[in-house]
Amino acid sequence: MVSKIQEIKKEVSKVVVGQERMIDGLLIALLCDGHILIEGVPGLAKTTTVNALAKSLGLDFKRAQFTPDLLPSDILGAEIYDPQNNSFKIKKGPIFTNLLLADEINRSPAKVQSALLEVMQEKQVTLGDTTFKLEPPFFVMATQNPVEQEGVYQLPEAQLDRFMLKLVVDYNTKSEELEIARRISSGKFEQIEAVVTHEDLNTLKREIKEVHMDAEVEEYIIELVSATRDPSAYGLEELKDFIQFGASPRVSIDMFKAVKAMAYLRGKDFVTPVDVAYIAKELMRHRIVLTYEAEAEGITSDEIIQRVLETVAIP
């Protein structure tokens, strides 16, 4: 089934140039039943990528633009009174889909963010007296724009923990940007075909769970997570004043799942420490709470994770 991964990537590449890391991250989160937060400036094909991925998988896709005046009912849906029948009827919101793009999630207030994040965790929506289970797979890709500081609401650290991965998307290379401009100006985009069925998707998930991981690699993952909580125990005394809270237990759980998917995407049936190091920042950068000292000195969570990776002994 590894060939199916290549087929999916081939279809997505029909409309998306480059951005391999974002595509890999989306596939990992989707196949591990997680959710993903992507940070990047506008115009980096975030919407295009998730739309292309949905089409290649034959899944339903919806996009919700988050704004300061958005209400939870705009995302979830609501009970609406029908005067003709003198009764209430359910109007479902965009949350009822397979792949939901929550665009610029940090533009909406806490009430809307909480409503979305609760559904991400529970995989169900309650409207009035009725509870609806969301049809699997259910996958949320949320984006946030790091450029603007006015009119945005920062996501609380505890809620950020709900996202399996946080990707920071950068600009394309010059050659990739040239290819993008040529394609768009000429309108030469191929039609994306659905190359994976629901059964194939379930098979991929099952095969990922069967990827082998040695006990030494499992212990290495726990050591990495522990080093963010008690850096002094690992000879990282200089990091102690920069970390307020280390990575949560959810990181360990998600890392066990994500590194198997990472190895599978690379065509392997076993996990190596290289797979762990490749995806460690995406798994932990949004789950480490920094102190004011770190912010004052311009220390980022990525730099802390890099120091941890360089220090903790590789099995």
Please tell me the least confidently modeled range out of 9-13, 113-117, 185-189.
Answer: 185-189
Between 43 and 136, the higher pLDDT residue:
136
| Cβ-contact 238, 293 below 8 angstroms | no
Q: 257 and 180 share a domain?
A: no
Mean pLDDT of 37-44: 79
Q: 9 and 53 share a domain?
A: yes
Mean pLDDT of 249-277: 91
| Euclidean distance between CA atoms 89 and 311, whole angstroms | 59
State the total domains in the chain: 2
pLDDT tens digit sequence for 80-96: 877 877 777 788 888 88
Strand, helix or coil at 46? helix
Q: 164 and 217 share a domain?
A: no
Structural domain contains residue 205: no
Tell how strand 289-290 and strand 243-245 pair up: antiparallel
Assign residue 167 the CATH number of its domain.
Answer: 3.40.50.300
pLDDT for the residue numbered 1: 59
Structural domain contains residue 191: no
Structural domain contains residue 67: yes
Structural domain contains residue 204: no
Q: 72 and 171 share a domain?
A: yes
Domain holding 220, by residue range, is 211-311
| Euclidean distance between CA atoms 46 and 141, whole angstroms | 9
Structural domain contains residue 196: no
Q: Closest Cα partner for 35 from 25, 20, 22?
A: 25
Mean pLDDT of 128-148: 81
Please tell me the least confidently modeled range out of 206-210, 261-265, 292-296.
Answer: 292-296
Which residues, including other chains, have CB under 8 Å from residue 286's CB and lie 6 or more apart?
A: 37, 160, 161, 163, 166, 301
pLDDT for the residue numbered 2: 58
Where among 186, 221, 256 does a domain terminate? 186
pLDDT for the residue numbered 149: 58
pLDDT for the residue numbered 66: 86
